[in-house]
Structure 1
Amino acid sequence: MEKQLSPTLIPLWLLIFLQAAISASSLVVEIVAGRMIAPYVGMSLYTWTSVIAVVLAGFSVGHWWGGRIAARDTGQALRKTAWTMIAAAIFTAGATLLLRTFAGPVVERNVHPLVAITALSMLAFFLPSLFAGVPAPVLTVAAMRGRTQSERALGAMFAVGAIGAIVGTLMAGFVFVPLLGSVTTLLIIAAIYALAALMCFWLGGGSRRATISPLIGIAIAFLIGISALGLPAICDRESSYYCIRTVELSDDPTDPVRLMVVDHLAHGISARDAPRVMFTPHAAMLDALPRMRMGPAAFTSFHIGGGSYSVPRAWADRGIGGVTIAEIDPEVTAAAINDFWFDPATVTILHSDARMALRQSDKQFDVIVGDAFTDIAVPEHLVTREFFKLVSARLAPDGVYAMNLIDSVDSLAALSAVVATLREVFPSVEVWTAAGPPQSGERRVFVLLASAHDSALSAIDARAPDLTRFQVLATGFVDSIVERHAARILTDDHAPLSYLMGFDRVVD
């Protein structure tokens, strides 16, 4: 007869270790989930709201199911829990395959963005969370049974579950994703779940002969993991912040033109042999409007966000110096240097949050350019009254702040809020955009110029890449937009820009 471990003799430290490992692993999956769906639907407030809700829903169902399993005798409960951990390993290893299979069809159907985000979160990460939620009540009940101070065991299991969640969160953000990438991280978590399954089976008194079936399940998880590793990488660079890709746009290898994609959005286009040509309306305006305001005189500038570094590269080619760039992600800079012909020796680069960089220095600039985006929205701490006061303090007396913004022409709620907030700080706030009537449903690019006085010109021509006319919107028209929305001033306490930009989509 094969020797089995009596469930009543399980050391408390073993159950604590198992609880901590599973709890930490499940939180790693939650953090990775947001990173993995970003290339398809972006990284925004909506993304994290959906991911957290789906994962918590999975945990809740798993905890309920685990409570029913825990009502059985300890040995049987642990053996059944082992099977749920095998399922957790299989679905965690397979999350990448599910996401790659269904993300394209879901996004291409042009369903409501919130529906797409929630659907992808559910498809890839609900079941891993559900199965990972089963062990907590089972292990907790096992820790309490047969002990004279079961209340202390209960408290210890709850505490170690929370500690494991904290450790998993920190490890995901600071170790796993930046060093190993999302796919490899999920496979490591699947392996941990498989080991937890074997331990639960052993603690539950499973015989060696009966171990064959669980091993088959673990082998399936392993094969799925190998398949996921064999998929072509989505990201050329996966940093702590973004999934970065370089896309070739030119059919002529002797005249390369490249697009930088950050998560799921285009963040810049550059041509090797035409550094002064901008390929998008926002880059064309951010390049031309500050130069129009400064005239022929030399000027200094501070750029919020680097992207493909198209504008700094164009200005360097024109002989414009004194350029400082705050780009929070060093990998974005590395991509610009390696793939977009940017020479870092022509500028000063700060790998820091722009607001922090401006606050830590009292240097003044003639031009400050705002071109930072998280998903389709400017980071909310960069659109508040407090931030605009900081920008004003760092501008020279005749300086100008040029800020890029995207909004739906059917709403313009975000535009109105940012204009109203800028007007709290700057005497003159102009809204520039491409000339021509808007189309229903269009998400239009605007550049806002904030300074002490209005521009001398009301229209300019710039290449984007074809020659395009850009004009300033009439003050009366902008006033009517602000009044129609009763625009609220954005502050550090409340700056719901993502909500305002998505409002027209939410209420459809």
Structure 2
Amino acid sequence: MDTSPTTVPGATKDSVQPATVIEPVQRRALPNGLASTLVFLASGAVLVLETVSLRLVGPYLGVTLQVTSSVIGVALGAIAYGAWLGGWLADRRDPRTLLAPALVLAGITTAITLPVVRYAGEVLRGGATAGILLLTALAVFLPAALLAAVTPLVVKLQLSDLNRTGQVVGRLSSIGTLGGITATLGTGFVLVAALPSTVIMVGLALLLGLTGLWLGYYLWRQERTSVPGRPGVKAAVALLGLVAAGLATVAPNPCDVETAYHCARVEVDAENPDGRLLVLNSAWHSYVDLADPTHLEFEYTQWIGAVADVAAPAGQRLDAVHLGGGGFTIPTYLSATRPGTVNTVFEIDGELVELGRRELGVKPGPELRPVVGDARMLVGDLPDDSADLVVGDAFGHLVVPWHLATREMAADIRRVVRPGGLYVQNVIDYPPLRFIRAELATVRAEFGHLALVAPPAAISGAQGANFLIVAADTPLPLEALRQRLGENEGSVTVLDGAALDQFIDDALVLTDEFAPVDQLLATA
């Protein structure tokens, strides 16, 4: 068998050259400081997006456990898919050509988030599960996924020495986590308290976009290579950025004032020039008549006013504690109908108190004492037997904060209410009425006497509505209350005794250990 090497015809033995081996181009790793900064920035930006997104969707969906869970879940999904995509691309393309575009596109999509959420939010108002998931996805997913792709791209560039793989991955992972922690604390404690959501989002978009542009120029200077792409594509991206910036400036803003807890606006009643409607996170919260402090527009405020009217002889002053201020409708009513009444109002949102002073006629003084803070903590500081009337009217959107709905909270309120005093609590619920039943069972576990005020259709489970719980340690003035409410006219029912026990049935007593308020409120 001929085993001589094969030669190209016409070539001599001496002319045969060994095959040329092309060594892969070894690109320099990014400077450690730059790599760390990029990972820190990208990871932190995701958490800024997540935190601010809750405020963006709140005016349309409310701020409930389901909305919060949706934002967190969508953000985590975006991080997972973005990291996977970034790693996949890093193995197929030079990461240096991808880093700058990822940051620029993240900036553009962050800017687009504002108009997209605000236009889509008007269509998706309400609390339907599909609407919650869709709007939170529009608010978070795309920019968070692009930012999550940055870390694997940077990691790929830093792995020039396989003997240091663990060190590089561990260091950058740690820096990314620190970026997320810093952004979460900084946004929650500083940015949200100091700046509107629009300013935060536009500022973040500019930071990401400018960082991406600078990084592209830096890498080009380092290696004299430009990010590949046709001029038309680059022009389209630039145009998209300009359109996003323009839409962000003209997108409808549902807030007159953006507080640390609410998107708030005050509307003038078209039928009453002195009427003011306070809207918090898209929900009608309070109505104030600037010319007539005794005017109670909403039915539930009329019920509370009726309870206060029969709580003591007409005109007698009271020591009243209010859990939640809002538009200060009831404190103002008590001051007008019972001169000398001292209204201590616990309101967690200090900016809402200031809004009330500016636009709702709230005038703090000896008879009206707003105290900014969490009602659960502040009630605990009150002396025993110090209030004739406690009014529970605190809400996060349409939901009573869970820690204000437990037996432990009811026990603290009972400690504060004087013998013969009353506790009234406003609750919103919808069929199948699981929350109002549970809250009634909870209050009944601490107070000896209980009644429920609500529309007949709501009690029968035909509709959602406000419900008013009335509780005391002494017999309630039910006959006087029925007459004051005009129960015989059929617009409202006062339920007590065996009928109330049957309504409550075997409902869950809520405790600090277990109070699934949001789940109980979910409609069937």
What's the TM-score once normalised by structure 1's chain length?
Answer: 0.90
> Is the 1:313–1:343 Cα contact (8 Å) retained in structure 2?
no
Matched residue, 2:82: 62
Listed one character per residue, the Cα deviations across residues 160-213 of structure 1 (whole Å, up to 9, x for unaligned) are 111100111112222222222111111111122213323543347463696977
- Pairing 1:103-502 to 2, within 5 Å after superposition: 103-107=121-125, 113-146=128-161, 148-201=163-216, 202-203=218-219, 205=223, 207=225, 217=237, 220-251=240-271, 255-296=273-314, 297-318=316-337, 319-345=339-365, 346-362=367-383, 364-408=386-430, 410-434=431-455, 441-458=462-479, 459-460=481-482, 470-483=492-505, 486-502=506-522
Residues 141 and 208 from structure 1, CA distance in 2 versus in 1: closer, same or farther, beyond 3 angstroms?
Answer: closer
1:34 aligns with 2:54: yes
Amino acid at match of 2:446: V
> 1:275, 1:317 within 8 Å by CA — same for their partners in 2?
yes
Paired AA for residue 176 in structure 1: L
Tell me, in whole angstroms, the C-alpha distance in 1 between the residues paired with 2:180 and 2:77. Answer: 16
1:94 match: secondary structure: helix
Report the CA distance between 1:438 and its aligned residue: 5.8
Matched pairs, number: 488
Judging changes above 3 Å, is the alpha-carbon distance between structure 1 residues 266 and 127 closer, same or farther for their aligned structure 2 residues? same
**CA distance 1:116–1:462, change in 2 (3 Å):** farther
The answer on whether the counterparts of 1:85 and 1:193 sit within 8 Å (CA) in structure 2 is yes
Displacement of 1:22 in angstroms is 0.9
Decide whether aligned partners of structure 1 residues 437 and 500 sit closer, same or farther in structure 2, where only a CA change above 3 A counts: closer
Deviations 1:131-161 (A, max 9, x none): 1111111112222333653322211111111
Cα offset for 1:53?
Answer: 1.1
Alignment of 1:44-59 (within 5 A): 44-59=64-79
Q: Distance in 2 between matches of 1:65 and 1:501?
A: 38
Three-state SS of the structure 2 residue aligned to 1:378 is: coil
Distance 1:438 1:370, change over 3 A: closer
Aligned amino acid, residue 340 of structure 1: L
SS of the residue aligned with 2:395?
coil
Pick which of 438-447 and 389-398 moved more: 438-447
Q: Structure 2-normalised TM-score? A: 0.87
Alignment check: 8 A CA contact 2:275 2:289 kept: yes
User: Does 186-195 or 321-330 show the bigger shift?
Assistant: 186-195
Counterpart CA distance in 1 for 2:379 and 2:224 is: 62
Displacement of 1:12 after TM fit? 1.3
Unaligned runs of at least 5 residues, structure 1: none
With over 3 angstroms needed to count, the CA separation of the structure-2 counterparts of 1:66 and 1:208, relative to structure 1, is: closer
- Amino acid across the alignment from 2:402: E
**One-letter code of the match for 1:332?**
L
Question: SS where residue 95 of structure 2 aligns?
Answer: helix
Note if contact 2:267-2:276 (Cα within 8 Å) is conserved in structure 1.
yes
Percent identical:
25
In the superposition, relative to structure 1, how do residues 474 and 395 fare at CA in structure 2: closer, same or farther (>3 Å)?
Answer: closer
Return closer, same or farther for 1:101/1:456 CA change in 2, 3 Å cut-off.
closer
Mapped partners of 1:294, 1:165: distance in 2: 55
Note if contact 2:399-2:518 (Cα within 8 Å) is conserved in structure 1: yes
Q: Distance in 1 between matches of 2:313 and 2:246?
A: 59
**Deviation by residue 1:77-113 (Cα, 9 ceiling, x = unmatched):** 1312322222211111001111122222233xx7x61
Using the TM superposition, give the Cα deviation of residue 439 of structure 1 relative to its aligned residue in structure 2, in angstroms: 7.4
Q: RMSD in angstroms over aligned alpha carbons?
A: 2.5
CA contact (8 A) 2:321 2:390 kept: yes
SS of the equivalent of 1:344 reads coil
Moved more, 204-213 or 417-426: 204-213
What runs of 5+ residues in structure 2 fail to find an aligned partner? 1-24
Select the structure of larger CA radius of gyration: 2
Shift of 1:435: 5.5
CA distance in 1, matches of 2:236, 2:491: 65
Larger mean Cα displacement after TM superposition, 195-204 or 112-121: 195-204
Change (3 A) 1:149 1:208: closer
How far does residue 298 in structure 1 lie from its aligned partner after superposition?
2.4
CA deviation after TM superposition for structure 1 residue 246, in Å: 0.4
